[in-house]
Amino acid sequence: MTEVLPNNFIRTIIDEDIKTGKHTKIITRFPPEPNGYLHIGHAKAICLNFGLASEFNGECNLRFDDTNPEKESEEYAKSIEEGIKWLGFSWAGDTKHASDYFDKLYQFAEYFIEQDMAYVCDLTPEQMRQYRGDFSTPGKNSPYRDPSDKLFRTKEENLALFRQMKNGDFPDGSKTLRLKIDMSSPNMNLRDPVIYRIKRDHHIRTGNKWCIYPMYDYTHCISDALEGITHSCCSLEFEDHRPLYDWVLDHLLKAGLVPCHPRQIEFSRLELQYTITSKRKLNQLVEMGVVDGWDDPRMPTLLGMRRRGYTPAGIRLFIERCGVSKSPNNVDMTLLEASVREDLEVVAPRIMAVLNPIKVVLTNFSAELTSSREAPFHPQRPELGSRLCTLTKEIYIEADDFQEVPEAGFQRLQPGGEVRLRHSYIIKCEEVIKGPDGKITQLNCSIDHNTLGKNPEGRKVKGVIHWVSCDLSINAEVRLYDRLFTEVTPDKMEGKDFTDFLNPNSLQILNGHIESAGQDFKQCTLQFERLGYFIADIKAQDKIIFNKTVALKDTWRK
């Protein structure tokens, strides 16, 4: 892992800000709305914000953007906190909430009214849409906005009305508070954006205290400023909102109401090939029963990846390798898999498991003659310990590892051929036994007793296969996963729905035979030698289940 990680434009900006003395300490923030579970896309934002902060010895806040009680829940908030911790990050101080600033937000709104920069508007959503105009037509001013209008409201009236809004004197949706900016702006966000709406909903933090809630654009910039955020990184779709972010803060800073004016920087979100990250669509998969839930190992959620055996370090490495830019991207799955493997290669204990068994009888097995070897759990890390790989008369090997008529280059077991049993002896296939249907049911092999821990003299046996004792191994359900979709961009197929591209073979369930030592590793991802990485399913109840994390690289099988 000596690769030089790419620089990115955000790092460059921060470097510059520190060099010029604009900032001596940087503060970032991760601002999720608690309205869903974290997925790989969030992982990028998390790694970026927390990563930057620690890289520059700064801090990163966790702030829930809880301005829309209708969609938010405590369960999501909890899950998000756990996800961040699981990824290996910790936030500065207590968890923060946009709702912590509701009083200030309200107070600043009154300030804007007093300054004649905000007004209460009675336009219905439909009317508001009409007044807003469209991309080629400038909007019309609200009839409540200007002194020349019959319905014009003085700032005293606006203030009184706004207070009544807060006091619950008006029904939901009947009035809004809008900023007075520019209805003819080519930027829609500046056409008198709504900053408060009336909405009676139980809020996860403030309960029923408020019946008016501030909008994102108004809330986010102020929250950033109040927390002293220096760099506010968000995704590209907020680029158009930056003028509004700056408009609000410029006025508030001038009035001395906020301590600083953070800089919003936009970067492109992460897209992964063959997957979707839209909350709505992911939810659809759950609802349709296509997956087991939000934590299904095939889901690109943190919960899913965790259950699948992806490690935080692997995910972090992946995100780092993806880089940060403003260009549209659709990252190759193999980059994620390579990153996860790279971490697992170093940390995962190895055991043996046979997934598609074929029975092998060792004809010359003898309790006096035949012994077993101590095998380390990791070839390069003896400190991880070892176990005895006990050979017995009957073993299972992988059906794949035997070919009656071997293809060119095949270096595993074949009639009359020799192969090494991993951590054990070299055996030779003496006889192939078939059932009435012609299918191979058993292989009779002989052990070369002079090959335990040493190579035979006078010949080279290249193949090494894994095996498991019939008696000593344990049975386990093994779940193999493949990508959920058959298209690189299931989301973006012209005239088609993403559900048209579901991969019918994304889950395969097998009955495997696992070396018994596999039971001792409940929490960590293991390597089943020559097969891949697997992890005991955290949700398994009365049986042993292993989830396949990712296969080992295989330069033989295509």
Partner RNA sequence: AGGGGAGUCGCCAAGUGGUAAGGCAUCGGAUUUUGAUUCCGACAUUCGCAGGUUCGAUCCCUGCCUCCCCUGCCA
> Which residues ranging from 35 to 54 are in contact with RNA (CB under 7 A)?
none
Kindly indicate which of the ranges 232-240, 245-253, 359-367, 518-526 contains the residues binding RNA, using the contact rule CB under 7 A: 232-240
Instruction: List the beta bridge partners of residue 467.
Output: 397
Q: Does 350 bind RNA (CB under 7 A)?
A: yes
Q: Choosing from 29, 33, 63, 337, which is the catalytic residue?
A: 33
Query: Is there a contact between 390 and 473 (Cβ–Cβ < 8 Å)?
Result: no
Smallest gap from residue 422 Cβ to RNA (A): 5
Is residue 457 annotated as part of the catalytic site, yes or no? no
Query: Which of 19, 150, 454, 459: binder of RNA (CB under 7 A)?
Result: 454
Both tokens assigned to 378: 């990791």
Q: Give the separation between CA 63 and CA 66, rounded to whole angstroms.
A: 9
For 464, residues 6+ apart whose C-beta sits below 8 A from its C-beta are 419, 420, 421, 422
Q: Check binding of 416 to RNA (CB under 7 A).
A: no
Q: Which of 279, 359, 387, 483 is catalytic?
A: 279
Q: What's the CA gap between 131 and 512, in Å, rounded?
A: 66
Candidates 11, 104, 199, 269; catalytic one: 269
Q: Which two tokens stand for residue 139?
A: 């909007």
Among 104, 155, 200, 373, binds RNA (CB under 7 A): 373
Nearer to RNA, 4 or 367 (CB): 4
CB closer to RNA out of 253 and 493: 493
Question: Is residue 328 a contact point for RNA (CB under 7 A)?
Answer: yes
Cβ burial, residue 391 (10 Å; 0-12/13-18/19+): buried
Q: Binding segment for RNA among 17-25, 364-372, 418-426, 541-549 (CB under 7 A)? A: 418-426
Positions in 352-371 near RNA (CB under 7 A): none
CB of 512 to RNA, least distance (A): 16
Task: Say whether residue 329 binds RNA (CB under 7 A).
Answer: yes
Which structure tokens are listed for 515? 């070396």
Q: Among 28, 61, 79, 176, which residue interacts with RNA (rule: CB under 7 A)? A: 176
Residue 159 touches RNA, criterion: CB under 7 A: no
Interaction between residue 194 and RNA (CB under 7 A): yes
Does residue 19 touch RNA according to CB under 7 A?
no
Length of the chain: 558
| Selected binder of RNA within 95, 411, 442, 486 (CB under 7 A) | 411
Smallest distance, Å, CB 320 to RNA?
Answer: 9
The set of residues, in sequence order, having a beta carbon less than 8 Å from that of 356 and lying 6+ positions away, is 398, 399, 400, 510
CB distance 91 to 319 below 8 Å? no
Name the nearest CA neighbour of 426 among 392, 471, 401, 462.
462
Distance separating alpha carbons of residues 98 and 238, to the nearest angstrom = 18
From candidates 22, 78, 129, 202, binder to RNA by CB under 7 A: 129
Q: Is 450 in the site for RNA (CB under 7 A)?
A: no
Q: Is 444 helix (H, G, I), strand (E, B) or coil?
A: strand
Among 76-84, 189-197, 303-311, 505-513, the segment contacting RNA (CB under 7 A): 189-197
Cβ neighbors of 539 (< 8 A, separation 6 or more) are 295, 307
Is 184 one of the binding residues for RNA (CB under 7 A)?
A: no
**Edge-to-edge strands of the sheet including 194-198?**
118-121, 176-179, 194-198, 212-214
Stretch that binds RNA, among 146-154, 162-170, 251-259, 548-556 (CB under 7 A): 548-556
Q: Would residue 434 show up in a list of annotated catalytic residues for this protein? A: no
**Of residues 90, 107, 124, 208, which one binds RNA by CB under 7 A?**
124
553 catalytic per annotation: no
Q: Is 382 in the site for RNA (CB under 7 A)?
A: no
Q: What Å distances lie between residue 105 and 67, 73, 225, 263, 395, CA to CA?
A: 11, 22, 12, 19, 71
Residue from 207, 289, 409, 435 that binds RNA (CB under 7 A)? 409
- Min dist CB 225 to RNA, Å, is 16
Q: How far, CA to CA in Å, does 356 sit from each of 277, 398, 415, 516?
A: 34, 5, 19, 17
Near RNA by CB under 7 A: residue from 128, 161, 225, 550: 128
- Which whole-number Å values give the CA distances from 537 to 349, 478, 480, 516, 549, in the listed order? 16, 9, 12, 16, 11
Binding of RNA at residue 85 (CB under 7 A)? Answer: no
Cα 375 to Cα 372: distance, rounded to the nearest angstrom: 9
* Least Cβ distance, residue 74 to RNA (angstroms): 16
Catalytic residues: 33, 269, 279
